[in-house]
Structure 1
Amino acid sequence: MSTAFLLVCALCLDAALGEPDWLWSRVRHPAVIMGTVIGWLDKRLNHGAHRRLKGIAVVAVLVVGALILGRALALLGPVVEIILCAILLAQKSLVSHVREVGEGLRASLPEGRAKVAMIVSRDTGEMTESQVARSAIESAAENLSDGVIAPAFWFLVAGLPGLLIYKAINTADSMIGYRTETYRAFGWAAARLDDLLNLIPARLTCVMILALSGQWARWSDIVADARRHISPNAGWPEAAMARALNVALAGPRSYDGQLRDLAWVNGDAPHEIGAPEVFRACDMLWQVWGLALGLVSVSVGLSFIF
Structure 2
Amino acid sequence: MTMAGLLIIAMVLDAILGEPKWLWQRVPHPAVLMGRVVGWLDERLNTGNGRKAKGLLALLLLILLGYLIGQILAAFGPIAEIATAAVLLAQRSLVQHVQKVADGLRMSVQQGRRNVAMIVSRDTAAMDGPAVARSAIESAAENLSDGVIAPAFWFLIGGLPGLLIYKFVNTADSMIGYRTPRHEQFGWAAARMDDLLNLVPARLTALFIALPAGAVGQWRLIRSDAAQHKSPNAGWPEAAMARAIDVALAGPRTYDGVTQQFAWVHSAGSRNIGPIEIDAAITRLWHAWAVMLGAAILLCLLTS
TM interval, shorter chain, is over 0.9
- 1:187 maps to which residue? 187
User: Using the alignment, how far apart are the partners of 1:263 and 1:179 within structure 2?
Assistant: 20
Spell out the pairing of 1:179-258 with structure 2 (5 A cutoff).
179-258=179-258
State the 1:187 CA deviation.
0.2
Cα distance in 1, alignment partners of residues 287 and 9 from structure 2: 18
More displaced 10-residue stretch of structure 1: 44-53 or 147-156: 44-53
Q: CA deviation at 1:224?
A: 1.1
Q: Which runs of 5+ in 1 are unaligned?
A: none
Deviation digits for residues 221-277 of structure 1, max 9, x if unmatched? 111111110111010000000000000001110001011111110011111100000
Displacement after TM superposition at 1:278 (Å):
0.3
Percent sequence identity is: 58
Separation of aligned partners in 2, 1:28 and 1:179: 29
Residue 37 of structure 1 is matched in structure 2 by 37
CA distance, structure 2, for counterparts of residue 133 and residue 64 of structure 1 = 39
Moved more, 95-104 or 291-300: 291-300
- Larger displacement relative to structure 2 (290-299 or 232-241): 290-299
- Cα RMSD of the aligned pairs, angstroms, is 0.7
SS at structure 2 position matched to 1:123? coil
| TM-fit CA distance, 1:217 | 2.6
**How does the TM-score come out when normalised to structure 2?**
0.99
* Secondary structure at 1:103 match in 2: helix
The equivalences for 1:145-184 within 5 A come to 145-184=145-184
**What residue in structure 1 maps to residue 13 of structure 2?**
13
Amino acid at match of 1:72: I
Which range moved further: 286-295 or 55-64? 286-295
Residue 227 of structure 2 aligns to a residue whose secondary structure is helix
How far residue 45 of structure 1 moved from its aligned partner, in angstroms, is 1.3
CA deviation profile, 1:185-230 (whole Å, cap 9, x unmatched): 0000000000000000000011111111111232221111111101
Amino acid paired to 2:153: F
Distance across 1 between alignment mates of 2:193 and 2:225: 23
Paired with 1:71 and 1:216, the residues of 2 have a C-alpha distance of: 38
User: How far is 1:72 from its partner?
Assistant: 1.1
Aligned to 2:48, what secondary structure does the other structure show? coil
- Measured in 2, the distance between the counterparts of 1:51 and 1:194 equals 18
Structure 2 unmatched ranges of 5 or more: none
Q: Which amino acid aligns with 1:220?
A: R
* SS of 1:228 mapped into structure 2: coil
Q: Deviations over 1:134-186 (max 9, x none)?
A: 00000000000010000000000000000000000000000000011111000
Superposition pairs for residues 70-149 of structure 1, below 5 Å? 70-149=70-149
How far apart, CA to CA, are the structure 2 residues paired with 1:302 and 1:174? 36
The more displaced of 151-160 and 67-76 is 67-76
Q: CA deviation at 1:302?
A: 2.5
Tell me the distance in 1 between the aligned counterparts of 2:100 and 2:247.
Answer: 20
Amino acid at match of 2:33: I
Residue in 2 aligned with 1:28? 28
Name the SS for the 1:272 alignment partner. Answer: coil
TM-score normalized by the length of structure 1: 0.98
Q: Which residue is equivalent to 2:273?
A: 273
